[in-house]
Amino acid sequence: MSLVFKPEETFRGDYTYRNSDAAILRFPFPFPEDRYMYSVNIEPHVRSGPTDAFCRPFDIDEHYIAECRDRALTLEQDPGRCQVLSHMMTAQWDTLELLMENMAADYPEQFSLTKDGDVFGSRWTWINRPLGIEQSFIFGDPDTLPCEPFEYITRQAQGDFAICDQREDNLYLDAGMITSQADWSLEFNVGMNFMEWHGPVPLAHQAGVFERALKYLLMLRLGQPVRRLNWTMSINPRLDTSPESYPEWGPDRASVTVENAGGKVHLRVELQTLWRLPRSNAILFPIRCFLISVEELARVPKWGKRLHRVLSSLPPELVEYKGLTRYLPATLAWLAPLDDGAELATGIGPDITELAPI
């Protein structure tokens, strides 16, 4: 797959992040219908989907280099965004192996992995051409890497990563590389079980969503990953919207007007996948974050109209939980002229193959 990276774009400060036409058309738009409500919405993570963003196990796009640089900046300011409990070393190696093998297979122009065996003690060589990395190491020996294996490989991947240890018929968040989260804290959540971690989410508990999801995930099988979409909104294309950095981004919510909502308000979509790991029996939970401004998204007519309808019909509890209260009216006012009320096809695909010129 040919990729043209945009290494100079930024996710803070001057916010130069933008999506190309191709990136807009491959966006994982999360709303198949005109109304939204929480659901488990889990499906097999296969090599196909409504847009290209679904078609590889670990998606890499034009923002790869810039996102890796932003992660490094966040970790430099707050090393606690990567935490791994001591019993998770085997799961760390499982994660490194899974990511390296899939990245090298799907993007051979960018990555390569050479191995003299598949067992601990084998010598491996990893090459990451976009980031200029070549590293030989002993698989299973953390002293042969610059840092522990989970941090090493997730510094080189887009999206956040959590590892859940399975014990006592529950899942425990016992490791994470979390630098682009939607207002939740790894520092606060590490070590929590599945229900504790999802405790603040409104409406979904009453609907039994998390009970069904946990029961399903405890039975997740090796080699049969699954996926789902989640979403929220952010002001500016900022990856790091953690509670720890709230003073840097929270006040931006008050800066939205009807005139600037199209450029400042961003739909933030998480393509969440879940993988059973082979040696540790833990579950890897990658959370791939995609950002798109409302005006970029509205270049796909179906998506602009549907976003207006979904946001117009959200329950108040979800508006409050997702932090939309202050700027939702301005966003709806910006979108309203684009919605002619015409019936829209179900499904999340763009239903067009190219965008009209700006």
Q: Please measure the distance between the N-terminal and C-terminal CA atoms of the chain and give it in whole angstroms.
A: 27
pLDDT tens-place string over residues 89-103:
999 999 999 999 999
Say which residue, 350 or 183, is predicted with more confidence.
Answer: 350
Confidence at residue 209, expressed as pLDDT on a 0 to 100 scale: 82
Confidence at residue 38, expressed as pLDDT on a 0 to 100 scale: 76
Mean pLDDT of the chain: 95
Mean of the pLDDT values across residues 273-299? 98
Q: Virtual CA dihedral for 238, 65, 228, 224, nearest 10 degrees?
A: -160
Mean of the pLDDT values across residues 249-262? 97
Instruction: Tell me what percent of the chain is helix, strand and coil, each rounded to the nearest 5.
Output: 35, 20, 45
- Residue 181's Cβ-side half-sphere holds a number of Cα atoms within 13 Å equal to 23
CA distance 293 to 10: 14
Q: What confidence tier does 1 reach under pLDDT thresholds 50, 70, 90? A: low
Separation of CA 277 from chain center? 19
Distances (CA, A) of 20 to 4, 135, 139, 175, 358: 10, 32, 38, 34, 12
What is the token pair recorded at 24?
């807009």
The edge-to-edge listing of strands for the beta sheet with 133-138 is 111-115, 123-128, 133-138
pLDDT tens-place string over residues 115-138:
999 999 999 999 999 999 999 999
Mean of the pLDDT values across residues 165-182? 96
Confidence at residue 79, expressed as pLDDT on a 0 to 100 scale: 97
pLDDT tens-place string over residues 206-235:
777 888 889 999 999 999 999 999 999 999
pLDDT tens-place string over residues 245-254:
999 999 999 9
The domains of the chain are located at 21-85+156-338
Confidence at residue 207, expressed as pLDDT on a 0 to 100 scale: 73
The answer to whether the CB of 232 falls within 8 A of the CB of 268 is yes
CA distance 289 to 74: 16
Counted residue by residue, the chain has a size of 358
- Predicted confidence (pLDDT) at residue 358 exceeds the cutoff of 90: no
Comparing C-alpha atoms, which of 28, 21, 14 is closest to residue 347? Answer: 28
Confidence at residue 80, expressed as pLDDT on a 0 to 100 scale: 96
The answer to whether the CB of 182 falls within 8 A of the CB of 297 is no
State percent of the chain over pLDDT 70: 99
228 tagged catalytic:
yes
Catalytic residue among 228, 253, 279, 326: 228
pLDDT tens-place string over residues 33-83:
999 987 778 999 999 999 999 999 999 999 999 999 999 999 999 999 999
Computed on alpha carbons and rounded to an integer, the radius of gyration of the chain in Å comes to 20
> At 272, which amino acid appears?
Q
Q: What confidence tier does 8 reach under pLDDT thresholds 50, 70, 90? A: very high
> At 15, which amino acid appears?
Y
Q: How does DSSP classify residue 241?
A: B
What is the token pair recorded at 26?
């491959």
At which residue do the structure tokens 């965004």 appear? 81
Q: How does DSSP classify residue 124?
A: E
What is the token pair recorded at 170?
């529950």
Confidence at residue 97, expressed as pLDDT on a 0 to 100 scale: 98
Backbone angles phi, psi at 356, to 5 degrees: -65, 145
